[in-house]
Amino acid sequence: MLVRGQNVECRRGGRLLFSGLDFSLEAGESLLLRGPNGIGKSSLLRLIAGLIPGNNDAIQHGGETMALADENLALDPDRTLYDALAFWAHLDGRGMDDIAAGLAHYDLSALAGVPVRILSTGQRKRAILARTMASGASLWLLDEPGNGLDSASLERLGAAMNAHIANGGAIIAASHFALPHDFTWVIDLSKAAA
């Protein structure tokens, strides 16, 4: 078991978003979180990542490493794209080959020397996905990973997701629309809404 949730509930701003949620994810599996805006998809990803508090011991981890890709770019805007990714690679204990592979996969190699602050919305999204890919994390937490991507970039995302699963990784993604991946499990959070 990589991650398991038992009777998970989430409160934000004193408001109960959902409760009674159960899930379990093994290596090679993927989970899609669905539901309307404000239902708690992003909050659940942050609960799993340990970034916000939840009900005690409701989420258990199997010791895996995690990478969260959400709306927070988490790349220094004044550094070049390569240097910003190198910062994270160093923290993740990864090499420069991992950065190069992520940049190449998301068609960002030509932008490696460009400051992050001048990247377009789609380029920034691809950069955070490249960081996730280069992290070596076994569990990817993807919050609306398709937002801002054109069709070619969506295909690249699908290929990265499929390869990650095929190599024994796992993915939990939150999305409003179809992603280019066949998910093992789907949870509609509106069914667990308070």
Give pLDDT, residue 149: 95
Start-to-end CA span in the chain (Å): 28
Give pLDDT, residue 55: 81
Give pLDDT, residue 194: 62
Give pLDDT, residue 80: 98
Report which secondary-structure segment, H or E, holds 25: strand 15-25
Report the C-alpha gap between 42 and 142 in whole angstroms. 9
By the 8 A CB rule, do 98 and 77 touch? no
Q: What is the pTM of this model?
A: 0.95
Q: What is the pLDDT of residues 101-125, one digit of tens each?
A: 999 999 999 999 999 999 999 999 9
Give pLDDT, residue 32: 98
Report the C-alpha gap between 128 and 4 in whole angstroms. 25
Residues in the chain where the model's pLDDT stays below 70:
194
Which DSSP string do the residues of 96-148 spell out, in sequence order?
HHHHHHHHHHTT-GGGTTSBGGG--HHHHHHHHHHHHHHT--SEEEEESTTTT
Nearest of 23, 104, 98, 37 to residue 71 by alpha carbon: 37
